[in-house]
């Protein structure tokens, strides 16, 4: 697996947040604040995937690098990407398909660090296609001709599901994807409005507790060792603030490695920025938090995105990946 150096709309009713309101990111030429700490704003989605950055702040990894983080919650990349490209935020969090689609449309964005990765286990991952017993969906190929709920159309969930069905020999083009928010998925499945849903934690655990059964993880397959999400910045910010960028990457890498080695502390930090119940936190499957982006998996995402018409041509991957050194 080649690596290069350093999902999800959730309702506010489910996820309480502790992030501060933000201002514009500070450049290195500006006056440093809070005892010589450089203030930077990071756009995050209040889901399990971003636990490492909260842990990193708690453990002092960013402060050790001279950074003072403002973590600003948003409901998804649709709000975070323009905030970063406009200079309102220094960094943001997004899934890799959105990054590839954005780059293909000419957005001046660059990945700087990984966010979350699949466990690689199709039976125990933080994302899973769920259905009801008796639905007739027992294997991946059985999704052909079915209605499947996804949080965003033409993105990472529907493209990976259709690819998995294709590889399983099913008629992937006959799947009908229906857009809905993650918190709405359990009720929509129970009501019979869809035949299956593409859930992520904690909704995998919540939906299973309500009687649903998993089919497979569309993050664990069809792409091996998928880097699901990343932290990114704008080309302009990277060019104007190279030292701050390097500090952020070092602290973020330390945070990811710490989180991956300390799953109990990941679970312990979740109540600080979500309102998840303790029993759900205890049972949910965590992502893997690697310190590197798997470039091979991004190339597969790009190929699938091109095949499904999400992009018209493949963007320059080297211009999107973190710069080494």
Mean pLDDT across 132-143: 96
Q: How confident is the model at residue 181 (pLDDT cuts 50, 70, 90)?
A: confident
Q: Which residue has the higher pLDDT, 75 or 66?
A: 66
Residue 324's pLDDT band (cuts 50, 70, 90): low
Q: CATH 3.40.190.10: which residues of the chain?
A: 3-118+226-320, 127-216
User: C-alpha angle with apex 257: 279 to 15, nearest 5 degrees?
Assistant: 35
Distances (CA, A) of 243 to 84, 172, 239, 249, 312: 18, 46, 10, 10, 35
Fold (topology level) of 127-216: D-Maltodextrin-Binding Protein; domain 2 (3.40.190)
Question: What is the reported pLDDT for 323?
Answer: 80
E strands within the chain? 3-4, 38-44, 67-73, 91-95, 109-117, 127-131, 147-150, 176-179, 196-200, 213-216, 227-234, 293-294
Q: What confidence score (pLDDT) does residue 27 get?
A: 41
Q: What is the DSSP letter of 181?
A: -
Per-residue pLDDT at 35: 62
Give pTM, 2 decimals: 0.85
pLDDT above 70 covers what percent of the chain?
A: 89
Contact between residue 175 and residue 143 where contact means Cβ atoms under 8 Å apart:
yes
Report whether pLDDT(126) > 80.
yes
Place of tokens 């998804």: 76
> Which CATH entry fits the domain spanning 3-118+226-320: 3.30.70.270, 3.40.50.150, 3.20.20.70, 3.40.190.10?
3.40.190.10
- The pLDDT score that the predictor gives to residue 157 is 94
| pLDDT digit string, tens, across residues 230-271 | 999 999 999 999 999 999 999 999 999 999 999 999 999 999
Query: The tokens of 85 are what?
Result: 């490209």
In this model, does residue 77 exceed pLDDT 90? no
Task: Supply 7's token pair.
Answer: 């999902």
């Amino acid at each position: 697996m080649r690596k290069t150096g350093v999902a999800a709309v959730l309702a506010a009713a489910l996820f309480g947040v502790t992030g501060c309101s933000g201002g514009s990111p500070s450049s290195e030429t500006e006056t440093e604040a809070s005892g010589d700490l450089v203030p930077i704003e990071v756009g995050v989605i209040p889901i399990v995937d971003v636990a490492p950055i909260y842990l990193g702040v708690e453990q002092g990894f960013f402060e050790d690098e001279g950074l003072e983080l403002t973590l600003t919650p948003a409901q998804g990349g649709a709000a975070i990407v323009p905030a970063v490209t406009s200079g309102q935020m220094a960094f943001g969090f997004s899934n890799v398909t959105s990054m590839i689609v954005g780059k293909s449309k000419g957005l001046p964005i660059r990945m700087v660090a990984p966010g979350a990765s699949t466990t690689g286990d199709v039976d125990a991952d933080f994302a899973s296609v769920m259905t009801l017993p008796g639905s007739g969906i027992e294997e991946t190929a059985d999704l052909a001709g079915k209605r499947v709920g996804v949080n965003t159309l033409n993105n990472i969930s529907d493209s990976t599901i259709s690819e998995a069905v294709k590889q399983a020999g099913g008629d992937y083009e006959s799947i009908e994807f229906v857009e809905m928010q993650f918190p709405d998925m359990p009720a929509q499945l129970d009501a019979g409005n869809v035949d299956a849903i593409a859930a992520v934690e904690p909704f995998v655990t919540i939906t299973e507790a309500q009687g649903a059964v998993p089919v497979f993880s569309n993050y664990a397959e069809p792409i091996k060792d998928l880097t699901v999400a990343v932290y990114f910045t704008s080309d302009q910010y990277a060019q104007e603030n190279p030292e701050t960028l390097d500090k952020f990457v070092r602290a973020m890498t330390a945070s990811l490695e710490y989180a991956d080695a300390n799953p109990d502390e990941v679970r312990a930090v979740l109540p600080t920025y979500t309102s998840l119940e303790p029993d759900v936190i205890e049972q949910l499957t965590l992502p893997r938090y690697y310190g590197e982006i798997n470039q091979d998996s991004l190339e597969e995402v790009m190929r699938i995105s091109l095949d499904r018409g999400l992009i018209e041509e493949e963007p320059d991957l080297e211009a999107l990946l973190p710069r080494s050194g």
